[in-house]
A and B are shown apart, each in its own frame.
Chain A
């Protein structure tokens, strides 16, 4: 049979970054994949060099709306690395609280979208409803649902009011029962076992070879987490566990993300309860010439920033390495050999946001249209239905 090419993307409503995948398929099986990026290029590194060190945090925050804490976190750490200062304790705790709150909402977001791809739209709606609670918490703490603008070199911009803390803790506690119910529904579901176990396997060696990061590598048994390996913020002051699983399939990636949310809830609560008193900002005035690096564990993996200062009030060079840049190429091993209906969830498993699906179309070499993105999601959902029927579950 003639090989067909599936162009996926570059645009889709649900996506995080416009990416363009080209899947080459032989019948149902994916035989090759090619990735093109650059649809979201806004020249952020160059823009950052035009702004002052303080203004840059706002540009950096808008690299990604979902990692809008961890990019400024890494950037401010890089600037602090140039000056060689330690931020005040209270600022460290506040930074940690915001970063972990973001991790919870990002993982919930991913879980909802993964549910949508598998034809579990109930999961999608439930999870996103649950996510609103976290966004409320972030709104109470920072004043905004997304881009929080809490970070600045040398500390944080806003303090957390003592009277908000009981309400925030109550709200965070209120999501645990629903989350546990979802966890049971997802982890113990035989259909999802049949659908997700053993597909898109990224072995430990492959994860190391591809330099996979974050939940993608931790699901493959690579115990790497910046928060543990090189603690920053208040991560070494609170008790929490790194979640590592061994199999590296999509199911394990789901498990890692769900369990990480519990750890994040634990960290946020401990930090809020033990919030130390004191200054929140060092009021840095001058930044000496020099270079600095900063890393932070974003929901998708380690994000890394390099900043060089030439003694003026603007960064002379600013380099950003986002986690998806490392995670995306792992699709090369995970997708190849799987069926088209599984490709959706495998690519989504990395959390690069593969939601570009809806704008893709399968074309045979002659140019005759076979499937579009909607059909592929339908294929994926139908497979779940078939498995359900085989198992006799309604």
Chain B
């Protein structure tokens, strides 16, 4: 394993980007940080800027106006940067698949490392996704 990846395992900081979501996923991500679920025990912390983050959490259906910003943010991210698609919208655009403003699903725009399904995914699902992501980097999954 690369040193940069191994260093990432202890405290993967996340940056969260909503590309036209309905907020449910965003609120559930925040819920993970609050006392009942407390995802900080895996060292995860919400980073204020993509330049401080190791993981990019993407929610929403990638609409035309936000795709430009999404690409720019991914380019700015220090590599290795893992991308997690949270919720049905960012996986396949879900109910918005026929919308004129959502041309492409997320994984056709930037490479995605993990998918967390659900509309919205429960915080338990997000935590399980986070654990699986860490296992994936370790190579045990």
Contact = CB atoms under 8 A, between A and B. Distances in A.
Interface of A: 10-11, 13-18, 38-44, 46-47, 50, 58-59, 62-66, 68, 109, 124-125, 128-129, 132, 145-147, 358-359, 372-374
Contacts of B100: 43, 46
B30 A14 contact: yes
6 contacts: A15-B26, A39-B20, A42-B20, A43-B100, A47-B96, A145-B120
B28 interface: yes
A42 B63 contact: yes
Given A64-B22, A359-B49, 17 more contacts: A10-B66, A11-B66, A13-B17, A13-B26, A13-B46, A18-B20, A40-B18, A41-B63, A42-B63, A43-B101, A46-B99, A62-B95, A64-B23, A65-B23, A65-B120, A128-B35, A129-B36
B31 interface: yes
Contact of B120 (A42, A147, A358): A147
Q: Which 4 A-B pairs have the closest CB atoms?
A: A65-B24, A13-B16, A128-B34, A65-B23
Contact of A68 (B24, B36, B96, B99): B24
Nearest to A14: B30
Contacts of B63: 39-42
Contacts of B69: 10-11
Nearest to B20: A40
B26 A14 contact: yes
Nearest to A375: B48
Q: Is the interface of A mostly helix, strand, loop or mixed?
A: loop
Nearest to B31: A128
Nearest to B46: A13
B102 interface: yes
Contacts of B102: 42-43
Nearest to A353: B23
Q: How large is the interface on B (under 10, 10 to 19, 20 to 34, 35 or more residues)?
A: 35 or more
Interface in B9-58: 15-18, 20-31, 34-36, 46, 48-49
Contact of B35 (A18, A129, A145): A129
Quick one: which of A13, A14, A129 has the most chain B CB within 10 A? A13
A128 B34 CA distance: 7
A66 B27 contact: yes
B28 A146 contact: yes
A62 B66 contact: no
Contacts of A59: 95
B66 A39 contact: yes
Nearest to B73: A11
A172 to B, nearest CB: 18
B118 to A, nearest CB: 10
B61 interface: yes
Contacts of A41: 20, 63, 65, 101
Contact of A47 (B46, B48, B99): B99
A62 B89 CA distance: 11
A13 B28 CA distance: 11
Contacts of A18: 18, 20, 66
B98 interface: yes
Contacts of A47: 95-96, 98-99
A58 B95 contact: yes
Contacts of A63: 22
A128 B22 CA distance: 19
A147 B18 contact: no
Nearest to B61: A42
Quick one: which of B26, B27, B49 has the most chain A CB within 10 A? B27
Contacts of B17: 11, 13
A346 B131 CA distance: 38
A373 B98 contact: no
B120 to A, nearest CB: 6
Given A40-B63, A145-B122, A15 B18 contact: yes
Contacts of B109: none
A129 B49 CA distance: 26
Contacts of B35: 125, 128-129
Contacts of A128: 30-31, 34-35
Interface in B79-132: 95-96, 98-102, 119-120, 122
Contact of B65 (A13, A38, A44, A64): A38
A15 B23 CA distance: 8
